[in-house]
Each structure stands twice: as structure tokens, then as C-alpha cells.
């Protein structure tokens, strides 16, 4: 119950069931019940009438100044803008549904063009915040990177995500690989540990790399299920054992860690013996390598990146953080489909990244949308405070 209700209605009792008057009897106490209600739906319209006067001395026509923000014949208030920003970017409501919502609930006709203008202005106010978050990501000791397909103008574009436990940043690009990450411009200057899913576009950078073991475990299980190779099942068990010891139990015995690493090497060699490289077949060249052999080559060549969590304090075991950050963006695509303009996709990604960061830091998203509607978004310092 609220300790500061907006309205208190006193309900007197004037007569006892026996018929005796109680009008002047003081109450022993009060029983409290509260009803929570939203405001009535019609919009509140405020009209500003500015005086226009003719100076009798100089004969100039003088008009009273309108308040800040009242710069067109019709403007929309910050609360309305905040609700639009929330419904569009937090709840992924398409423009057609937004138009219907404001008409049904508030008897207000909002066109997609008007909504697009409000969203674009909000996105532009995030310029300073975007600069801040890009700089802060470069200082992060750990970054998660991932990418996923994103429909823009009916074409396949790519949504790129960089994040940690407190920050989320999205950007879009026509391509998936290193050209995109170079143009986005964060990873070429990053010096911490990058967590990702073996995508070659990330491996060119000189920062430390750690690979997602959730992907490794799924591939090992697939090899065992499809080909019944015991080394794959045992390797999965070993990686899970290393996780239990090094991460959950925080074990740091050099002897035990060395033994676990030795077993890792032995299992890779067993797998290699069971999956020799394909031999030449004459004119047609070499046979294609099996999935098992490809995985084994990766396990051997990138052992330090796969087992980095084993020795690095706080190095994540998986890239699940990045996958969580991308999951809701895929939901948006399922609900709204393609973006008609690149600018619209860019606006959505910028505001959505701001929302994701707000949520990670336990702040109110609607309050953040209110500040964004006023052109005064939270700074990173305020978000963390």
C-alpha cells in the first residue's frame, strides 16, 4: 500500500445497528483500503494564446514569447513522447499498432511520419551517450561480441553487438565480417579479452580471445550423437569438470589444473587418431574433412582460447551474455519484420542499446524514456549511480 496516497476519502459511520446515533463518537481507528487507477484516457490539451500588440510609440507589432518546446502549431508533450518511445523500443510495437493504440486509448491520431520524427529526435539526443559508451567499452576488461541477421529494406543486413554485464551497444552494417567491425571502429582499438563464437572476423584483432564453450559442448554432443565417437562424449564431460573446478569451486591448484589440461591433450590426440585427415582421391583432389576432424583441429589449435576461463580470473565460460543481448532484437524482427529505411534501423538500435544498458543497471526504463523525450538522456555516470 502507498504511504502517500493522492486522495483520501473519509467514510463515516453515523448509526449503530442498534439504532443509536454515532455522529459525535470518536473512531477507535480506521481501516484502510486503496484503489489504484490510471488517469482517464482522453488527452489533456493545453492551448497557449500569445498576445500580439501594436506599440503606440514605434508602431511595431510585438508577440509574446511561447514557452520552450512550443515551437509549432501542434506539439506533443514529453509524457506522450516517453510512452511512444517505450512502446516502440521496449515493447517492439509496430507503427500500425501504435497508431491504433493512440487512437483507441487517447482518441489521438498519430501518423507514422510524426512518430518517426519523434524517434529520430530522441535518437539524435543520444549522440553524447553513444560517444560515452563506445569509450567505456574500450576500457572494459571483458567484452562479448556477436552478430545476427537483420532485415533492412527487405535485404539481409547484420546487427553487431558488443556488451558486458553493465553495457550494451548495437550497430548495423551491410556485412558480417571484419569490414563491418573495422568500420564500426571499436574492436580495432580494444585491448582486453574478447569473448566470441569462433567467427574469423574477430580473430584478426590483437586482443586476448576466449571462445564460447557452450558452442563447443553442443558440437561435441552432436559428434557423439551422430557418429558415436566416445572421445567426444568424454571431452564434453572433461570441459564440464574443468568448469566445475575452476569456476564454481574457484580451484587454483597448479597440479590439478595441469592434470586437467593433460587429459584435454590426450583426448584430442585420441580423436585425431580416430579421425585421420582425408587422403587424396586423384583428379578430384582431397576429400572434404569431417565435422569431427574440423572440431578436433580447432580444439588443438585454439586450446588456450578455449581454456582461457580455466586460468583467467573472471573470464566467462560462455558467450551467453552476447546471445541474451541479441535475443530480444530477433524478437523485434519477428514482430515488426523488416525496417523500411536504414535510418529507422539505426534509430531503433541506438535507443534499444540505451534501454538494454538501463535495464542492466536496475534503472526505470520509462523514467529513462521520459528523460530521452526531453532531450536529456541519462549519462553513463547517472546510470551507474
Domains of the chain, first to last: 124-210+319-384 (3.30.420), 213-278+287-311 (no CATH)
How far apart CA 165 and CA 124 sit, in angstroms, is 25
How far apart CA 43 and CA 217 sit, in angstroms, is 55
If we measure between CA atoms, which residue out of 44, 43, 41 comes closest to residue 105? 41
Write phi, then psi, for 282 (nearest 5 degrees). Answer: 80, -130
| Residues 194/208, Cβ–Cβ less than 8 Å | yes
How far apart CA 350 and CA 123 sit, in angstroms, is 7
Q: Where are the beta strands (DSSP E) in the chain?
A: 52-54, 61-63, 142-152, 155-163, 168-173, 193-196, 208-211
Cell output for 39 = 488517469
The pLDDT assigned to 38 comes to: 79
Q: What is the pTM of this model?
A: 0.86
| Residues 161/147, Cβ–Cβ less than 8 Å | yes
The pLDDT assigned to 40 comes to: 74
The pLDDT assigned to 284 comes to: 63
How far apart CA 379 and CA 246 sit, in angstroms, is 37
If we measure between CA atoms, which residue out of 184, 215, 170, 178 comes closest to residue 305? 215
pLDDT in tens, the chain (385 residues): 899 999 999 999 999 999 999 999 999 999 999 998 877 777 889 999 999 999 999 999 999 999 988 989 999 999 999 999 999 999 999 999 999 999 999 989 999 999 999 999 999 999 999 999 999 999 999 999 999 999 999 999 999 999 999 999 999 999 998 999 999 999 999 999 999 998 888 999 999 999 999 999 999 999 999 999 999 999 999 999 999 999 999 999 999 999 999 999 999 999 999 999 887 665 566 678 899 999 999 999 999 999 999 988 899 999 999 999 999 898 988 888 889 999 999 999 999 999 999 999 999 999 999 999 999 999 999 999 8
Amino acid at each position: 500500500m502507498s504511504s502517500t496516497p493522492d486522495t483520501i476519502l473519509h467514510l463515516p459511520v453515523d448509526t449503530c445497528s442498534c439504532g443509536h446515533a454515532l455522529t459525535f463518537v470518536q473512531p477507535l481507528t480506521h481501516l484502510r483500503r486503496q484503489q489504484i487507477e490510471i488517469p482517464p484516457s482522453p488527452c489533456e490539451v493545453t492551448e497557449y494564446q500569445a498576445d500580439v500588440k501594436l506599440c503606440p510609440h514605434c508602431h511595431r507589432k510585438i508577440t509574446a514569447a511561447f514557452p520552450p518546446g512550443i515551437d509549432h502549431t501542434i506539439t506533443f508533450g514529453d509524457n506522450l513522447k516517453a510512452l511512444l518511445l517505450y512502446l516502440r523500443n521496449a515493447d517492439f510495437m509496430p507503427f500500425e499498432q501504435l497508431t491504433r493504440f493512440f487512437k483507441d486509448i487517447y482518441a489521438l491520431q498519430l501518423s507514422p511520419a510524426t512518430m518517426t520524427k519523434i524517434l529520430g529526435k530522441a535518437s539524435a539526443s543520444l549522440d553524447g551517450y553513444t560517444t560515452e559508451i563506445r569509450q567505456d567499452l574500450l576500457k572494459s576488461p571483458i567484452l562479448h561480441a556477436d552478430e545476427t541477421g537483420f532485415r533492412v529494406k527487405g535485404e539481409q543486413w547484420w546487427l553487431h553487438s558488443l556488451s558486458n554485464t553493465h553495457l550494451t551497444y548495437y550497430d548495423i552494417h551491410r556485412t558480417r565480417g571484419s569490414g563491418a567491425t573495422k568500420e564500426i571502429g571499436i574492436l580495432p582499438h580494444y585491448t582486453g579479452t574478447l569473448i566470441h563464437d569462433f567467427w574469423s572476423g574477430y580473430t584478426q584483432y590483437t586482443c586476448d580471445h576466449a571462445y564460447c564453450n557452450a558452442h563447443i559442448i553442443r558440437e561435441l554432443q552432436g559428434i557423439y550423437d551422430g557418429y558415436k565417437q566416445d572421445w567426444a562424449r568424454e571431452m564434453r564431460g572433461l570441459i564440464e569438470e574443468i568448469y566445475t573446478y575452476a569456476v564454481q569451486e574457484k580451484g587454483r591448484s597448479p597440479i590439478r589444473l595441469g592434470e586437467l589440461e593433460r587429459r584435454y591433450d590426450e583426448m584430442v590426440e585420441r580423436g585425431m587418431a580416430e579421425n585421420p585427415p582425408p587422403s587424396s582421391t586423384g583428379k578430384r583432389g582431397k576429400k572434404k574433412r569431417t565435422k569431427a576432424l574440423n572440431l578436433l583441429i580447432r580444439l588443438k589449435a585454439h586450446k588456450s582460447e578455449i581454456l582461457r576461463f580455466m586460468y583467467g580470473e573472471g573470464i566467462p565460460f560462455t558467450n551467453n551474455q552476447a546471445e541474451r543481448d541479441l535475443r530480444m532484437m530477433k524478437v523485434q524482427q519477428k514482430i515488426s519484420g523488416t525496417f523500411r529505411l536504414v535510418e529507422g534501423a539505426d534509430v531503433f538500435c541506438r535507443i534499444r542499446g540505451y534501454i538494454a544498458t538501463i535495464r542492466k543497471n536496475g534503472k526505470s526504463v520509462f523514467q529513462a524514456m521520459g528523460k530521452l523525450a526531453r532531450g536529456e538522456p541519462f549519462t553513463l555516470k547517472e546510470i551507474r549511480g
